[in-house]
Copies of this chain bind each other. A is one copy, B any other.
Amino acid sequence: MGVAGSGKTTIGKALAQELGLPFYDADNFHPQSNIDKMRQGTALTDDDRHPWLTDLAAWISRWEGEKGAVLACSALKEQYRKILQSVENITWVYLEGNSEMILQRLESRSGHFMPAALLESQFAALEEPDYGIRVNVSSSPAEIVAKILSKVKMMNAFEFGLIGLGVMGKSLALNLAGKGISISVYNRHVEGREEGIAAGLIADNPKLPNLRGFDNLGDFIHSLARPRKVMMMIYSGAIDKQLEELIPILEAGDVVIDGGNSFYKDTIRRADLLAEKDILYLGTGISGGEEGARKGPSIMAGGSERAYLLMAHYFDLIAAKDQAGEPCSAYIGPGGAGHFVKMVHNGIEYAEMQLLSEIYYLLRHFLKIPPSEIAGIFSEWHTGELNSYLLEITIDILRKEEDGELLLDKILDQAEQKGTGGLSALAALEYGVPYGPLAEAVMARTLSAMRSRRLTAAKLYSREAEATATDREALLSKVKNAYSAARLINHQIGFSLMSEASLRNQWELDPARIAAIWTNGCIIRSVLMEDLALLLTEDDAILTSPVWVPKMRGWQQDFADIVALGLQQGFALPVLSSALNYFLGYTSADSPANLIQAQRDYFGAHTYRRRDKPEDQNFHTNWINI
């Protein structure tokens, strides 16, 4: 837009070529009556312009339905532009110049039907827009076009912003872009890399024009439509610094999502900090690893419900779908609820992984079954109740060869951890939930990492693991039952940890909904989880549910037998053992904790309560026998 002679046609054509779009000149859409008037040197009235503008608006709407277009149109008054605005997504480009310059141009131009005399009335009518792109026309056409293109790139038009292009961030960005969301991505500049990381992603994905890359945070933010939706997919240790940079350039009403594995207490603190600026915050757990993030993760959003309503569309679009076709994405609860639930997810995952390792270890070294056969056994298990993603990948792993040998055997047996499992165990201790299997899973990793000490100690305590494979079939069926039982226990404690945290924090978590969004997309998806999504009510007591009691009754002795046999044969089974001990403790009417209470009262005068007295009464005894 701009007055006659500002260069709309020249610039518009060049721009259209650069953008690969058709170019249209609004003047060509005038009814004949208007053209005649102008030729006669008569100024058009607004009544003259109205049918012309309405007609153009219809065309614009049609072009938008195709792939867009560049239109040159004076559009001097705000009221004209309002008529033209038949679609949201118009980028206005105002070609600005003073009257002397424009006059000079017009006089040197020939063949144009508007006499220069009309220019003054144009300047009188001009209402400059305070939006869109404004370019001074004193430069050369090429420069003007370049300037417009660079500003178009920066326009507040893209829907979604994503910070951090690690494994998870990159996959999510491609997932979003693939679903047709216009998304800007940003990655801080990395020392020693010439090309920006975001630019690299764009270059690798030429078929996604709705994906734009930045390595300047300000440009990235300004590329987003308001209210901005900015998701951080970065290392939890870098969140505070990132927020420090973001806060000054964000505005009230913008939404920030932390999609990483932040500790839930940090999330609560950060949400409070951003609330001071009226910026909405969502601490959102995302599970599924690289593949899940790319093809459909499980999404656990926590924090501002208002923010969730703004984001739900995007989350639902990219999330995995459950069996009913519903997205595996939910608003979990206020504050740190989303990150807490993701943390517990990872806790359950840690224990499940260690359980599988222990089962594999028993089958291979106690039952002396070769890996390929174990893969076969697992495949059979996978067809039934034991079906799970972790079992599935274990089967692949047990079949993966390198140069004709099992790749697994070449991997160093020192497990690492990224912390969420450990944090989940810490939370269990803090909330008084006896999640022994998780603590043991975390500690099994740390013990495995002490390899040089293990090698030293192993020489001093050599054991001959005796393979008593006389009744392999019977043992195998017991191992399967032990694994089934331990998994059920692991899930019960995981859900009871969430239930305890929900009570204490007044989060009102919905266990069935959580199980439902964990039935697909996430690492611990399984047939068991599908059962739990149907079964779980507010009561998290899986082990006392009529559905599971008969099964556990059938499994319990096999479970104990396998742990007992394994330990006697010298196999460390920390998570199987801990799950069994939880089960035995949980199902014992009497525990020896009365001795602990007596000891505490003996040496510390901590007092005790009695079975035969009201529970609010405390007693102290002088225990020394005279």
Contacts and interface: CB of A to CB of B under 8 A. Distances in A.
Interface of A: 167, 288-292, 353-354, 356-358, 360-361, 389-390, 393-394, 396-397, 399-400, 407-416, 418, 422, 425-426, 428-430, 432-436, 439-440, 442-450, 453-458, 460-461, 463, 523, 541, 543-544, 549, 552-553, 556-557, 560-561, 563-565, 567-568, 570-574, 577-578, 580-582, 584-600, 602-606, 608-612, 615, 621, 623-625
How many copies altogether?
2
Nearest to A168: B604
A623 to B, nearest CB: 5
Contact of A596 (B353, B458, B574): B353
Contacts of A442: 429
A595 to B, nearest CB: 5
Contacts of A589: 454-455, 458
A445 B421 CA distance: 22
Contacts of A448: 585, 591, 593, 596
A287 B523 CA distance: 46
8 contacts: A354-B596, A393-B599, A411-B609, A433-B446, A440-B440, A458-B588, A461-B552, A564-B567
A428 B426 CA distance: 10
A285 to B, nearest CB: 14
A429 B422 contact: yes
B591 A167 contact: no
A440 B579 CA distance: 11
Question: Taking each of A541, A549, A585, A609, which has the highest tally of chain B beta carbons within 10 Å of its own beta carbon?
Answer: A585
A571 B595 contact: no
What is the predominant secondary structure among interface residues of chain A facing chain B? helix
B439 A587 contact: no
Nearest to A596: B415
Given A604-B167, A606-B416, A584 B568 contact: no
Given A439-B440, A456-B544, A592 B357 contact: yes
Nearest to A599: B353
Contact of A413 (B412, B565, B593, B615): B593
Contacts of A599: 353, 356, 390, 393-394, 397
A383 to B, nearest CB: 18
Contacts of A544: 453, 456-457, 460
A372 to B, nearest CB: 12
A415 B597 contact: yes
B611 A410 contact: yes
6 shortest interchain CB distances as A-B pairs:
A448-B593, A564-B564, A289-B603, A434-B443, A572-B584, A415-B593
Nearest to A407: B621
A408 B624 CA distance: 14
A457 B496 CA distance: 15
